[in-house]
């Protein structure tokens, strides 16, 4: 058999590899252009105490997490136990962005399920969410000591993701 007859087989093999790699990607996932950029500034009223407010500048010099959630979000309910476990053991502040919730709904949800957040702020009209490139809920951003966004989790955080990806990253950023 001539060697050249193997060419279609080789091309087919390469095609299988490329397509198999492609099948493992999620085409609906939108990578964030904000990774590596400074966290968008904002100042919003706190969910627990509307008279108080929070801004990312309040946590300058610290590594922290911003978790986008809402009382109307079913996946957030699924993510909630993992966040509760994480916040109980972790030293890194977990800040919540209550996205497009009517006033009071977020607070009631936290009352009912438990509050894993150090503070939550209310983004009632979703404008801060747009600044963060939020297109679904939940999403979680990791911010380093210099206020740079270093990672974005799209979808719910699971115990596996926390253990395999989040905690090593936090360790690395804390030691920086």
Partner 1 sequence: MRRALCLCVLLWCAPAWARDAGRAQAIAEQLRCLVCQNQTIAESDAPLARDLRMQVSEQLAQGRSDQQVIAFMVARYGDFVLYRPPVKPMTWLLWFGPFVFLGGGLFQLYRVARRHEQELT
Read off the DSSP letter of residue 46. Answer: B
Helices (H), the chain: 7-23, 74-89, 105-113, 127-131, 159-161, 167-174
136 binds partner 1 (CB under 8 A): yes
Enter the tokens of residue 75: 């996946």
∠ CA 159-137-162, rounded to 5°: 15
How far is Cα 176 from Cα 171, in angstroms, rounded to an integer? 9
11 binds partner 1 (CB under 8 A): no
The residues pairing with 155 across neighbouring beta strands, listed in sequence order, are none
In the numeric block, the tokens 């109980």 are attached to 88
Query: Least separation, in Å, of the C-beta of 130 and partner 1?
Result: 6
130 binds partner 1 (CB under 8 A): yes
132 binds partner 1 (CB under 8 A): yes
Binding pattern to partner 1, positions 68-107, x when CB under 8 A? --------------------------------x-------
Query: Least separation, in Å, of the C-beta of 37 and partner 1?
Result: 8
Residues contacting 40, CB < 8 A, separation 6+: 34, 56, 128, 131, 132
∠ CA 65-137-70, rounded to 5°: 85
Stretch that binds partner 1, among 17-25, 27-35, 54-62, 155-163 (CB under 8 A): 27-35
Query: Least separation, in Å, of the C-beta of 174 and partner 1?
Result: 28
Is the Cβ of residue 85 or residue 130 nearer to partner 1 in the bound state? 130
In the numeric block, the tokens 């690395």 are attached to 172
Stretch that binds partner 1, among 13-21, 86-94, 109-117, 128-136 (CB under 8 A): 128-136
31 binds partner 1 (CB under 8 A): yes
125 binds partner 1 (CB under 8 A): yes
- For the chain, what is the largest distance between any 2 Cα atoms, rounded to a whole number of angstroms? 82
Is the Cβ of residue 15 or residue 52 nearer to partner 1 in the bound state? 15
Q: Give the binding site for partner 1 (CB under 8 A).
A: 28, 30-34, 100, 125-127, 130-133, 135-136
């Amino acid at each position: 058999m001539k060697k050249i007859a193997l060419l279609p087989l080789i091309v087919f093999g390469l095609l299988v590899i490329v397509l198999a790699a492609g099948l493992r990607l999620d085409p609906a996932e939108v990578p964030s252009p904000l990774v590596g950029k400074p966290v968008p500034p904002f100042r919003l009223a706190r969910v627990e105490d509307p008279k108080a407010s929070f801004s990312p500048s309040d946590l300058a010099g610290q590594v922290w997490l911003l978790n986008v959630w809402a009382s109307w979000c079913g996946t957030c309910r699924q993510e909630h136990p993992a966040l509760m476990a994480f916040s109980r053991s972790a030293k890194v502040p977990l800040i919540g962005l209550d996205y497009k919730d009517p006033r009071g709904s977020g607070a009631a949800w936290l009352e009912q399920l438990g509050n894993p957040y150090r503070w939550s702020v209310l983004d009632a009209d979703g404008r801060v969410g747009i600044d963060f490139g939020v297109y679904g809920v939940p999403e979680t951003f990791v911010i380093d000591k210099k206020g740079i966004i270093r990672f974005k989790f799209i979808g719910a955080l699971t115990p596996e993701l926390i253990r395999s990806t989040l905690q090593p990253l936090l360790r690395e950023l804390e030691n920086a």
